[in-house]
Chain A
Amino acid sequence: MKRVFALLALVGAVAFGSPAWAEEKAAAPVAAAAEAAPAGMAGMAAAAPAAVAEAAAPAPAAAPVPPNKGDNAWVMISAALVILMSIPGLALFYGGLVRTKNMLSVLMQVFVTFSLISVLWVVYGYSAAFTEGNEFFGVLDKMFLKGVTVESVAATFSKGVNISELAYVVFQGAFAAITCGLIVGAFAERAKFAAILVFMVIWFTLSYIPMAHMVWYWAGPDAYIDAAAGEAAGKTAGFLFQKGALDFAGGTVVHINAAIAGLVGAYMVGKRTGLGNVAMAPHSLTFTMIGASLLWFGWFGFNAGSALEASGAAALAMVNTWVATSAAALSWMFAEWILKGKPSMLGAASGAVAGLVAITPAAGFVGIMGAIVIGLIAGVICLWGVNGLKKMLGADDSLDVFGVHGVGGILGAILTGVFADPALGGTGVYDYVANAVAPYDMTAQVISQLWGVGTVVVWSGVVSLVTFKLVDIVIGLRVPEEEEREGLDLTSHGESAYHH
């Protein structure tokens, strides 16, 4: 009973304490927020040239442009696709990789994490991530989606083109939910269910929300009327957006962020009992293949949907998501064939996921050949991530969240800076002031990308470490050894995945 109270107190402290940090910063800026919700996905950094000192206030926006029905339809379908990725896609992908006795626990962890974060997203997540605040957090003006109506619009990446803000809310919410779901793979088969839920609440609040704000929050293209207005608008954007880091669909916010939390979790929760002595082979590669395929299918919404418009950029992201993934599945499989003697289904499926992760930040910025190269490299490097690197790190990251999402995410983030170069077939970076593609400096862009990687590694690392420590003290991170041996399905949930 005591523990239940402690747990409630902890959740309460986070959920209701969180307004505190945001409100401090809230004070000034609200005024500027026009009807159009300033919002954006990819870091289409408006490379505002160093410019005019006289800070002319941006002209007040007229009545907002009504949402484009085609773009709306695409973003809503994409949101549903991202939900398909998480449940059942991710749940089955992970579920197939654990032992029979833990199958149901993994399904449950992903399913409930998804539900939990979805609710938190509309309660305060969306507001704290996608309103104008400081460089790290938004404000809580839109708590419970206050003021977000069927009339509200969110910006896209084209001037004068809007989508319904509610479509943007669900699209972004699905991202938040799958990110938290990704983490559970790292400490599967031994973590306490209550501990996972409490961890998710805190980590979502203190790591996901600020990362999403830092990378994706900007005033929208319509604010970039001239150099001065562009500069003023640029200053309201998130920290990494201002650094010019490109992240089309969430390589840093989603994958590196979750992978670091997973890695820290694997260290903090400790190794599975019997690791190395007991066979821990995946119980159903059929489910893993179905899960990986659903991830791939849903990822078209994740990446191509991140264009926020049913545009050519969305089509580019879609083709890149298709071929980079295929290339990575092939390169992982061939590398494994050469090194270990046999081409495996798990290798091909893992390679596909590695390719999906690596192409995520690059999807709308690189050309098709760039995507193939990113995929080929990702397959091989992530194979090393789950072998050589995993041994070096020494953590029991059960389902290789770090080896695939962390390594693939970092690789993708850096290679985005390389292959976004128009000289290598990329799209370059659009300058919304000049209304043209800006001159591209690969070195500078790679440095911006490293800023993104470094920030998320440190931020997520620190938040995860503190949160796991806290949860460990209050409720304990793992189940008792006998329960672990018997399997979490029966001991944590009182059900079994299979009856045979």
Chain B
Amino acid sequence: MKFVTAIIKPFKLDEVREALSAIGVQGITVTEVKGFGRQKGHTELYRGAEYVVDFLPKVKIEAAIKDEQLDQVIEAIEKSASTGKIGDGKIFVFDVEQVIRIRTGETGTDAL
């Protein structure tokens, strides 16, 4: 099993969710986050006072999936989250040791 974390542009969230549903991903967790990368921040100007905003808002998506889904999931996120401009985000992939569904006690791929 794999755990996929993707940092994407906030306005791309709906497209990514649709793309993942289309390939059979059962559930995702979404968090609003802030951070910086190569895109850096920007400056804001209020009545002549300049403020550098270092952290830009992004959305973090997390999904646990079967090993064989991985390539499809990566491809789906890559396509749906891309604008071709700096700041589109990144995808991280981890191995998952165990998954447990709390309600039934099912484990492993059955719990996904």
User: A-side interface residues toward B, CB under 8 Å?
Assistant: 279-282, 340, 342, 344, 346-347, 350, 383, 386-387, 390, 400
Q: Does B33 contact A (CB under 8 A)?
A: no
Check B53 against A386 for contact (C-beta < 8 Å). Answer: no
Check A350 against B47 for contact (C-beta < 8 Å). Answer: yes
Q: Does B22 contact A (CB under 8 A)?
A: no
Check B46 against A387 for contact (C-beta < 8 Å). Answer: no
Q: Does B97 contact A (CB under 8 A)?
A: no
Chain B 39-60: CB-based contact to A (< 8 A → 1; otherwise 0) = 0000011111101110000000
Check A281 against B48 for contact (C-beta < 8 Å). Answer: no
Check B47 against A342 for contact (C-beta < 8 Å). Answer: no
**7 shortest interchain CB distances as A-B pairs:** A387-B48, A281-B51, A279-B51, A386-B47, A346-B46, A281-B46, A340-B45
A315 to B44, CA, bound (A): 40
Q: Which of A282, A342, A350 has the most CB of B within 10 A?
A: A282
Q: Which residues of A contact B48 (CB under 8 A)?
A: 340, 383, 386-387, 390
Check A282 against B45 for contact (C-beta < 8 Å). Answer: no
Check B45 against A279 for contact (C-beta < 8 Å). Answer: no
A280 to B46, CA, bound (A): 10
Check B47 against A346 for contact (C-beta < 8 Å). Answer: yes
Q: Which residues of A contact B51 (CB under 8 A)?
A: 279-281
Q: Separation in Å of the B34 CB from the closest CB of chain A?
A: 13
Q: Separation in Å of the A317 CB from the closest CB of chain B?
A: 28
> Apart from A279-B53, A346-B46, A347-B47, what 17 extra A-B contacts exist at CB < 8 Å?
A279-B51, A279-B52, A280-B51, A281-B44, A281-B46, A281-B51, A281-B53, A282-B46, A340-B48, A342-B45, A344-B45, A350-B47, A383-B48, A386-B48, A387-B48, A390-B48, A400-B47
Q: Which residues of A contact B45 (CB under 8 A)?
A: 340, 342, 344
Q: Which residues of B contact A282 (CB under 8 A)?
A: 46
Number of interface residues of B (CB under 8 A): 9
Chain B: CB-nearest residue to A404: B47
Check B47 against A387 for contact (C-beta < 8 Å). Answer: yes
A282 to B45, CA, bound (A): 10
Chain B: CB-nearest residue to A382: B47
Q: Which residues of B contact A387 (CB under 8 A)?
A: 47-48
Chain B: CB-nearest residue to A386: B47
Q: Which residues of A contact B47 (CB under 8 A)?
A: 346-347, 350, 386-387, 400
A386 to B51, CA, bound (A): 16
Q: Which residues of B contact A347 (CB under 8 A)?
A: 47
A400 to B51, CA, bound (A): 17
A342 to B47, CA, bound (A): 11
Chain A: CB-nearest residue to B53: A279
Chain A: CB-nearest residue to B54: A279
Chain B: CB-nearest residue to A350: B47
Q: Which residues of A contact B49 (CB under 8 A)?
A: 280-281
Q: Separation in Å of the A339 CB from the closest CB of chain B?
A: 9
A230 to B44, CA, bound (A): 58
Q: Which of B46, B47, B48 has the most CB of A within 10 A?
A: B47
Q: Separation in Å of the A122 CB from the closest CB of chain B?
A: 37
A347 to B49, CA, bound (A): 12
A487 to B67, CA, bound (A): 48
Chain B 52-91: CB-based contact to A (< 8 A → 1; otherwise 0) = 1100000000000000000000000000000000000000
Q: Which residues of A contact B52 (CB under 8 A)?
A: 279
A281 to B50, CA, bound (A): 9
A342 to B44, CA, bound (A): 10
Q: Which residues of A contact B46 (CB under 8 A)?
A: 281-282, 344, 346
Q: Which residues of B contact A279 (CB under 8 A)?
A: 51-53
Q: Which residues of B contact A281 (CB under 8 A)?
A: 44, 46, 49, 51, 53
Chain A: CB-nearest residue to B48: A387
Q: Which residues of B contact A390 (CB under 8 A)?
A: 48
Q: Separation in Å of the B99 CB from the closest CB of chain A?
A: 31
Q: Which residues of B contact A344 (CB under 8 A)?
A: 45-46
A280 to B49, CA, bound (A): 9
A342 to B45, CA, bound (A): 9
